[in-house]
Amino acid sequence: MIIYIYDIKTLQIVARPIVNSYGEFRAEPIKFYPEWDVNNHISTEVEYQNPILDNEIIREKTREELILLDNRIELLQDGEYVENNKIIVVKVPDYLFKKLWNKESNLWEEGATQEDINIEVNRLIDEYTLLGDQKERWIKYGFDVLEIEEKMASNILKRNYLLSIKF
């Protein structure tokens, strides 16, 4: 097996001795790495891509640590940005049809094109007419139509929002 020896200050791998077991290495580290110094080195059975010391234990950095400590902003997801060394998460507004994250302004925006809007408005009109037909049938047979009316009202709001978008 391979043992990974890290320099404590830089967290760079300085050696990769091959041993039969980790216990064998721990018993006599100088036998496998003559420069071994407990004050300058730390060993592990795992090779870390982004190591960090946490209470004298080496581990992989979390996504948050990579972003905040290493400035790996490319790991931020849509709706996230860094402010005052904290990751801020902005909830996506429900009303947006095609959600688009603006990384410069740190705001969610409408990302739909005029064609997207036209297609969706036509789909909503078709849906509305089907809901109207369903409502009439349910009234005819004495069923409660409150749920259908709520869907119709929601449909109207969605269409009004889409039609209010200016390009």
Token pair 């302004």 is at which residue?
Answer: 105
φ, ψ for residue 127, nearest 5 deg = -60, -40
Residue 135, classed as helix, strand or coil, is helix
pLDDT of residue 26: 95
Q: Tens of pLDDT along 19-65? A: 999 999 999 999 999 999 999 999 999 999 999 999 989 999 999 99
Angstrom distance (rounded) from CA 15 to CA 32 = 9
The residues of the chain scoring below 50 in pLDDT are none
Report pTM: 0.73
Q: Tens of pLDDT along 27-38? A: 999 999 999 999
Is residue 76 within 8 Å of 67, Cβ to Cβ? yes
